[in-house]
Structure 1
Amino acid sequence: MNTIQFENKISKWLPFILSLIGLLVATLASAQSNTANAAVAEKQTLMSNPVAVSLIIIAGVLLLIIALMANVMLGTAKWFLDKEKQQKAATIVTTILLVFGMPMSGIAQDATADAPKVATTIAGLSEAVFYLITSVIGLELFIILMLAYFIRLFIAKDTPVVAPATEEAEAPSTLQVWWDKMNSFKPVEQEANIDLGHNYDGIRELDNRLPPWWLYGFYVTILVGVVYLYRYHVSHTAPSSKEEFELAMKQAEADKAAYLAKAANNVDENTVKLLTEASDLEKGKTTFTSMCAACHGTEGQGGVGPNLTDDYWLNGGSINDVFKTIKYGRPEKGMKSWKDDYSPVQIAQLASYIKSLKGTNPANPKEKQGELYQEGTTNPTSKDSTAKETKSIAMNP
């Protein structure tokens, strides 16, 4: 039942209730007038009659029940009616209380006076008094039923009503069913069971449980935390963060060394640099002694091959030219290519050692051959030195 229907129903029954109350007031006034003139067979006060006392007690108890039920109805009505409607409901209850208070005072006044003599009595009471009290009790019972009916209406309005499912309603998809189970959603028809009774601007607070997936996830984090604590801080079966950092640094150093080694092997005649480290020159000297001394002499003074200690070069005297000559050789002059025998790093070390022989003035140097080369200048004959050569010799490092 929506709010408009509910208010219409109250408006429909409100005049009826007020009419009943007016009827009760009129009945009481008429009864008091009649009892004042009625005659009784024998003088007896009303309060000394046990039947009258019992009926009055019953009427009083019913009046108390009406007051309590009216209070309950007001308590439930405050969730749905505005202040003005609550005041109307309070007026109705006040009227009821006043109406039922009037007959009690009237009956009490009659009890103090001598009952007039009448021809017949009921349980020692005149017919007028008996029917008056029983009528009041009957009217109270009727009002109690009406209050119970309206309280039930209020409670029924508070309970969410679910529209019956139609045959055309589509069945929920598998994904929707799975999602509802994962979140433990309650059906709409069961929301009344978990309603906490808190209403905020029309938004009702429900006592929903946390989704199962959230709870299970939380339990898993607790288990992981216990395992982590035991493994890293109790049994020490896994490296700590500090140990992991140290291992990572060692691995980085190894990777760096591997990269530098690989980068060094990428040296060619265009990128080679003159090496001046003693370790590199010593390795170059070892290679020169074992492979080049046979043609160029142990000190580079020359033999079958040209002198390597002066400033004259047949194929260019820069570090790039020397590296290229060693790498590709001079097959037409009897010098083989050494690129398949030595790595680029070893060839660079050998070329740097040969460049370090300049100006050493060994004993019995061979005569000068080729073009003069000075550091920092480009030798124009280095690209085609065979046109300037005076001798056809083999250069074997």
Structure 2
Amino acid sequence: MKVAIVHDWLVVDGGAEKVLHELLTLFPEADLYSTVFHLPEEKRRFLNGKVPKTTFVQKLPFSGRLYRNYLFFMPLAIEQFDFSSYDLVISSSYAVAKGIITGPNQVHVSYVHSPARYAWDMQHQYLRESGLNKGFKGILARWLLHRFRIWDARTANGVDHWIANSQFIARRIKKIYGVTATVVNPPVKLERFEIKTEKDDFYLVASRLVPYKRIPLVVEAFSRTPDRKLVVIGDGPDMANVKAKAGSNVTVLGYQPDDVLIDHLTRARAFIFAAEEDFGIMPLEAQACGTPVIAYGRGGALETVVDGETGLFFQEQTAEAIVDAVDRFEQDGVAGTPGDFENHVKSFSSEVFRRKIRELVDAATTRDSLPSVRLRSVRAEQAA
């Protein structure tokens, strides 16, 4: 088979990129495609040496920094890729990658991290947070998102096999596209982590600093309780807001390399997770270090944290709810032993992920379901 892998955009090394790394490892001969590619050399290791083919958005002004501003060009851009020579195309999608064009003699498998949140059920939240819920700009943004939804729903017909990263996202896919997806959770490289029971006296939050992650909310909660220490790792548009809310007990480290992040995950008293996340790999990485997770009890966290055993849930995205959850944690702790933490995270290992993806792709590309391979085989036999 000739294989192509398509990713929305390559500008950071985050959770979706960990999935992409595993796909590139499973299919080392695959060609890689992305709308834009702006990764510094030191952050490209997960690409296994591959350089993606990009779209015209790559050449637009300041696309490395303003790529989100070009979102409404991306449906057109992603459709310009020519996949006619491939047997199998795998899209790694949280925005536009699933909208690629393939033919009836090809198989398109889409691993969906999430349908575009800002265009569907979280539209109103995103518009409020970006200041686009009023005035002419608000009207224009709503119209553009309306057009995007029409395109997004239409292109769902081009996917042959759907994979969701969690049950939460499978439900979102069913609601939006009316199709059933198989769930394969993202992988955790367990060999990078070691469970330790001795913890230091600080809490940790680590994430891209974007609005839906709710990092300023966590900072606000800890600033209200100055006897507790919080360390913040990450960078992004919300950095100024984070620093503005940080009290003297909050240390903002900004972006840190993996070794520093893992060191803090291992030593933290608990990891704080306030987002309604599609899945969330970071809480699993914390648990792989034996670090409990205090999480908002919605979305993917319900599938990755065992309430009362490997973490605790709070039910509202408010500073008061976070403070109350930390109070409960300090009073009662969690019941899980190091063995419980280890057994829980094993089911999310890279090996499990690769096995499940391989089984699904093999089933999707059997001789009967891959007409292009069968046609070439027949032609070769006739020529012989």
TM-score normalised by the chain length of structure 2? 0.16
TM-score normalised by the chain length of structure 1? 0.15
Please tell me whether Structure 1 or Structure 2 has the larger radius of gyration of its CA atoms. 1
Task: Name the structure with the higher helix share.
Answer: 1
